[in-house]
A and B are shown apart, each in its own frame.
Chain A
Amino acid sequence: MSNVVQKLGAKKRAAIIEASLKKRHAKERRLRAYGVAAIIFAIGFLVTLLSTVIGNGYTALQQTQVKIDLEIPIAKLLNDEGQFDEKRLRRYGWGSSIKKSFRTNFPDVTDRMAQRALGELVSANAGFELRQLVEAAGPEATLPTSFWVKTSDDVDMLMKGRMDRNLPEQQRRLSDQQIAWVDALVADGKIRKVFNTTFFTAADSREPESAGILGAVVGSALALMVTVILSLPLAVMAAIYLEYFAKPGKVTDFIEVNINNLAAVPSIVFGLLGLSVFLGFFGLPRSAPLVGGMVLALMTLPTIIIATRASIRAVPTSIRDAALGIGASRMQAALDHVLPLAAPGILTGTIIGLAQALGETAPLIMIGMVAFIVDVPTSVTSPATALPVQIFIWADSAERAFYERSSLAIVVLLLFLIAMNLTAVMLRRKFEKKW
């Protein structure tokens, strides 16, 4: 080829080289363009993901309520001492009186079926929540004569524009008649949307309007507490051993291989381990944050060990040499001199490991933290769920209102993760030392 080119005249030669160069540069530009496109795709996906989740979730911050005129005969609920009587509280028809009062808005609805359809507009838990409200107010309180109670999740969806009015009636969860009633109530000013405090103060529920993430958040917090108590000391001890005390040899090699391999074992396998060893063999309670925390601790152990070793190595050897030189033992040099200097790095690694653990779902499902639990857990052995598992449970539910809550729960989870990672970054910035 080059011979052929050389035989040609200078002008032609230049033209051929020019053309080939053009081709070669075009090739390079293509390579660059692929790279840019790949990055744009990845970032574009991230933006889509976040905007979908936020777009679907922000409406869960609001809850639709309906105004009910109701006079509660408080005297009937008290016993002789003027305190609330449990039996009378239970016997009072909270739900039915709400429904009865609600029906007065539409006095011309007399048909049984229609009345039931009308009743479906109010939350099934409205009576229970009214009772709690009254109990919290106390026996001496003067109660208002009208209350705002939650509507059912279907009305909530309609009010938030999450239900398409133009769909044929059969494909909607509310009938044309029900929508007309809601519209009448709106026209009367008897429907309002308020901030959804329930979402942040309640645990799971069958009714979307009564479901919240507090139970899951507490469950996650308890599990992570167990995780950090177990994994941080163990990881630091293991890292110090491997850095300072392990003699090079087969045992040490084997430990290192195991640590590296554990970091790449699928999380569900840890779930199987927890199921058959912690639950099956030791008989620890199912669905407990204790077991969840133990499984997560085993999973995060390699991460924290690797981070700790890195930050121990980042401390200059001169520190250790100086300590040894003035007569410190090897243990003293490691614990009293190197470890405090490595602490910020260890802490950063721990927070990042915990952030990973917070997002883990599969192993927790394996050990039964996927159960339906309506109480906020109070101890590490009480049945609980975790925030990512709650997202999974709600995403699996049929109701549109759970979909919205699942999205908002994701936003909360991501906020926790962002907070943890930012803390880690700030710690690193603040304490990072250039030796």
Chain B
Amino acid sequence: MTFFTSFSSLALLIVVIAIATYLFSRRKVTQAAAADHVKPHSLARYYGLYAGAWALLPAFLVLVVWTLGSQPFIDANVQTLLVQAYPDLEKGFLDLKLAQVQNIAAGLIESQDETLLKLADDYAEALQQASNLRTSIVLLAMLVAVIYAYRRVSPALKARILFETLLRRAFFIAAAIAIVTTVGIIASLLIEAVRFFSQYGLLDFFFGTHWSPNVALREVAAGAADEDVGGSTGSFGMLPVMAGTLLVATIAMAVALPIGLFAAIYMAEFASKRVRDVVKPTLEVLAGVPTVVYGFFAALTAAPFFRAIGLNLGLDVSAQSALAAGAVMGVMIIPFISSLSDDVITAVPQSLRDGALGLGSTRGEMVTKVVLPAAFPGLVGAFLLAISRAIGETMIVVMAAGVSAKLTANPLESVTTVTVQIVMLLTGDTAFDSLKTLSAFALGITLFTATLLLNIAALTAARRLGQRYE
């Protein structure tokens, strides 16, 4: 029985029925056309596709919506049962119990607790009922749709036009997913961030100079939060975190900008084609290395290396210095800057170069006095995109930068960044709607806004370059 109610087997069943519908509808129309000696409006396959789409889409829609939508209902039901069973437990413990019940029901863990076992039985039964109901409703929806479509199939039906309209709409929806994703990102971040700001002052967050979220583990009634900021509820002043992010990003840009730019200039203006053909793909390899690998290198090779140098010079370099994280991040960004700059430099019209050389300038002068100024807006665009990359980069700083927020500009010290804090706040066991986890979303929306603005600025700058020489 469970075989017919599991998601994958039900999906398989739907596909099989849809294929059958395709075949039968196609046969129906060819036979009808032959019997009546008429030519069908569309090619035979379109009748099959038309009916097949009717078989497939409503059923799949119901299946997915039901699957995604029913779980919260069942959980809510069990939750009320849990509240009845344990009337005086706190919410966090209730969630824990719910997870226990789910695991017992799934047979993952065993328990001797009678109440829990009873709840788990109820839960398993509710799940079973829900999936039985799902199978019946999906199959019913399918049956209705298939009968409707199969009856409509006849040589006179404009099947191709109907099917192509459907496809066009589906294509539009696929394209609109980009919008849905953006809206989803903004909405999900904003909703949680608003919940955070309803408990914590906006100004305190953006201009506070003290960041220590971990105190928030001792949960206090939300009302006390306003009176006692920085006390028992933890404090969420993001300035030190922002400062750390900017410090690491600045170090990264200090490494990536000169190296990336000089490499791009050399490759675009001086290198022979043979050198270019070798060097360009090699730099792209650097871009293809996953960030976790850079993080590994930064934490376990670069950081001890900088520390050893510091020791020789009599400097105290932290084991998780901003320098190590920033420098390795800079190397990660080199190919990004060099390939963008390369594109921008080669986009400068040849006539400008010819003019400069014709007036007797050396190639070097041509580059520094003509090509680079002409490419300047595009280079600014590349630079801004690279900064956006640097502040959004996560793994390198999670592995190589610190976790404690300090308001410092010393690259030898350990700093923390926005992305590190998001990861720290949302991994580990905390109630999902504590002030601590909500603050991660406030950081998230700040990060998203910052990168969005940088990207828009970069696009505007690049567009200005395009307008100059079109």
- Cβ-neighbour of B171 out of A237, A269, A275, A280 (below 8 A): A237
| A200 lies within 8 A of chain B by Cβ | no
Query: A410 to chain B: which residues have CB within 8 Å?
Result: 292-293, 296
Cα A97 to Cα B453 with chains together (Å): 66
Interface segment among A65-73, A119-127, A145-153, A413-421: the answer is A413-421
Digit string of A347-374 for contact with B (CB within 8 Å is 1, else 0)?
0000000011011111001101010000
Q: Which residues of B contact A269 (CB under 8 A)?
A: 185, 189, 392, 444, 447-448, 451
Q: Which residue of A lies closest to B75 (CB)?
A: A283
| Number of A-B residue pairs at CB separation under 8 A | 258
CB distance from A210 to the nearest CB of B (A): 22
Q: How far is the CA of A38 from the CA of B440 in the complex (A)?
A: 38
Would you call A24 and B364 a contact (CB within 8 A)?
Answer: yes
- Contact indicator B451/A370 (Cβ below 8 Å): no
Partner of B392, one of A36, A268, A407: A268
Q: Write out the residue numbers on chain B whose beta carbons fall within 8 Å of the beta carbon of A270.
A: 185
Q: Is B20 an interface residue (CB 8 A)?
A: no
Q: Which of A275, A305, A410 counts the most chain B CB atoms within 10 A?
A: A275
Give the distance in Å from the alpha carbon of A388 to the alpha carbon of B294 in the complex.
11
Tell me how far the C-beta of A90 lies from the nearest C-beta in chain B, rounded to whole angstroms: 16
Chain B proximity of A138: nearest CB distance (Å): 28
Q: Which residues of B contact A302 (CB under 8 A)?
A: 178
Q: Smallest CB-CB separation from A330: which chain B residue?
A: B164
Stretch at the interface among A27-35, A105-113, A154-162: A27-35
Q: Determine whether the beta carbon of B175 is less than 8 Å from that of A265.
A: no
Cβ-defined contact, A238 with B177, below 8 A: yes
Inter-chain CA distance A27–B447, complex, in Å, is 42
Decide if B427 touches A258 in the complex (CB within 8 Å).
no
Q: Do A36 and B266 touch (CB < 8 A)?
A: yes
Residues of A355-400 at the interface with B, using a CB-CB cut-off of 8 Å, are 355-356, 358-362, 365-366, 368, 370, 388-389, 391-392, 395-396
A329: chain B residues at CB < 8 Å are 160, 164
How far, in whole Å, are A44 and B408 apart by their CA atoms in the complex? 32
Closest to B183 in A: A258
Least CB separation from A358: chain B residue: B290
Contact with B along A215-251 (1 / 0, CB 8 A): 0000000000000000001110110111001100000
**Bound CA span A280–B184, Å:** 13
Known contacts A241-B175, A261-B455, A359 near B290 by CB under 8 Å: yes
The one of B71, B182, B282 that contacts A261, using a Cβ cutoff of 8 Å: B182
| Cβ contacts B239-263/A at 8 Å (1 or 0 each) | 0000000000000000000111111
How far is the CB of A380 from the nearest CB of chain B, in Å? 9
Asked if A301 is at the interface of the complex by the 8 Å CB criterion, the answer is yes
Q: How far is the CA of A358 from the CA of B265 in the complex (A)?
A: 32
Q: Which residues of B contact A258 (CB under 8 A)?
A: 178-179, 181-182
Q: A246 is contacted by which of B68, B175, B261 (Cβ under 8 Å)? A: B175
Contact B419 A266 (CB under 8 A): yes
Contact yes or no, A261 B452, CB < 8 A? yes
Size of interface on B: residues with Cβ below 8 Å to A: 91
* Contact assessment for A361 and B395 in the assembled complex, using a CB-CB cutoff below 8 Å: yes
What residues of A have a CB within 8 angstroms of the CB of B447 in the complex? Answer: 266, 268-269
Chain B 385-407 against A: per-residue CB contact (8 Å), 1 yes, 0 no?
Answer: 10011011111001100000000
In the complex, how many angstroms separate the beta carbon of B390 from the nearest chain A beta carbon?
10
- Is the contact region of chain B dominated by helix, strand, or loop, or is it mixed? helix
Q: Please state if A28 and B286 are interface contacts (CB–CB under 8 Å).
A: no
A266 pairs with B394, CB closer than 8 A: yes
Interface of A is mostly: helix
Closest CB in chain B relative to A363 CB, distance in Å = 9
CA distance A39 to B270 in the complex (A): 13
Which of B175, B279, B399, B455 is close to A396, meaning CB atoms less than 8 Å apart? B399
Contacts known (A258-B182, A259-B178); A264 close to B419, Cβ less than 8 A: no
State which of A45-53, A80-88, A190-198, A314-322 sits at the interface with chain B.
A45-53
Distance in Å from the Cβ of B25 to the closest Cβ of chain A?
19
- Tell me the bound Cα distance from A269 to B455 in angstroms: 15
Contacts of B127 in A (CB 8 A): none
- Minimum CB distance partner of A389 in chain B: B292
Q: Give the docked Cα–Cα distance between A359 and B441 (Å).
A: 24
Are A34 and B68 closer than 8 Å at their CB atoms? no
B300 touches A403 (CB 8 A): yes
Measured CA separation A27–B295 after assembly (Å): 38
Would you call B174 and A362 a contact (CB within 8 A)? no
Q: Is B297 positioned at the interface, with any CB of A under 8 Å from its CB?
A: yes
Counting CB contacts under 8 A, is A431 at the interface? Answer: no
Contacting pair A240 B171 (CB below 8 A): yes
* A362 B262 Cβ-Cβ under 8 A: no
A273 sits at the interface (CB 8 A): yes
Given contacts A24-B365, A38-B266, A359-B292, contact A237 B394 (CB under 8 A): no
Q: A406–B290 Cα gap in the complex (Å)?
A: 14
In the complex, A370 Cα to B423 Cα: how many Å? 11
Whether B175 and A242, one on each chain, are in contact in the complex, defined by CB atoms closer than 8 angstroms, is yes
Q: Is the CB of B188 within 8 A of A272?
A: yes
Given contacts A39-B266, A241-B175, A262-B182, contact A366 B423 (CB under 8 A): yes
| A16 lies within 8 A of chain B by Cβ | no
Distance in angstroms from B151 CB to nearest chain A CB is 25
B291 partner, pick from A361, A389, A421, beta carbons under 8 A: A361
Interface string of B361-379 (1 = CB under 8 A from A): 0111101100000000000
**Which residues does chain A contribute within 8 Å of B174, judged by CB atoms?**
233-235, 237-238, 241
Q: CA separation between A298 and B261, bound complex, in Å?
A: 32
B382 beta carbon closer than 8 Å to chain A:
no
Which residues on A sit within 8 Å (CB–CB) of B259?
38, 41-42
Instruction: Give the chain A neighbours of B294 by CB distance below 8 A.
Output: 49
Q: How far is the CA of A283 from the CA of B72 in the complex (A)?
A: 6
CA distance A261 to B444 in the complex (A): 16
Nearest Cβ distance between residue A94 and chain B, in whole angstroms?
Answer: 23
Taking the complex as formed, is A267 at the interface, i.e. its CB lies under 8 A from any CB of chain B? Answer: yes
Contact between A277 and B184 (Cβ–Cβ < 8 Å)?
yes
In this assembly, does A254 line the interface, its C-beta being within 8 Å of a C-beta of chain B? yes
* Residues of chain A contacted by B338 (CB below 8 angstroms): 42
How far apart are A13's CB and chain B's nearest CB, in angstroms? 16
User: Is residue B283 contacting chain A, with contact meaning CB distance below 8 A?
Assistant: yes
B188, A417: Cβ atoms closer than 8 Å: no
| Residue in contact with A395 in the complex, picked from B72, B192, B283, B399, CB distance below 8 Å | B399
Contact between chains at A255 and B393 (CB < 8 Å): no
CA distance A39 to B265 in the complex (A): 11
B295 lies within 8 A of A272 (CB): no
Q: Which 3 A-B pairs have the closest CB atoms?
A: A35-B266, A266-B392, A359-B290
What are 14 A-B residue pairs whose CB atoms fall within 8 Å in the complex?
Answer: A28-B365, A39-B279, A238-B177, A255-B179, A266-B419, A267-B394, A269-B189, A269-B447, A282-B69, A298-B181, A331-B168, A356-B288, A359-B290, A413-B293
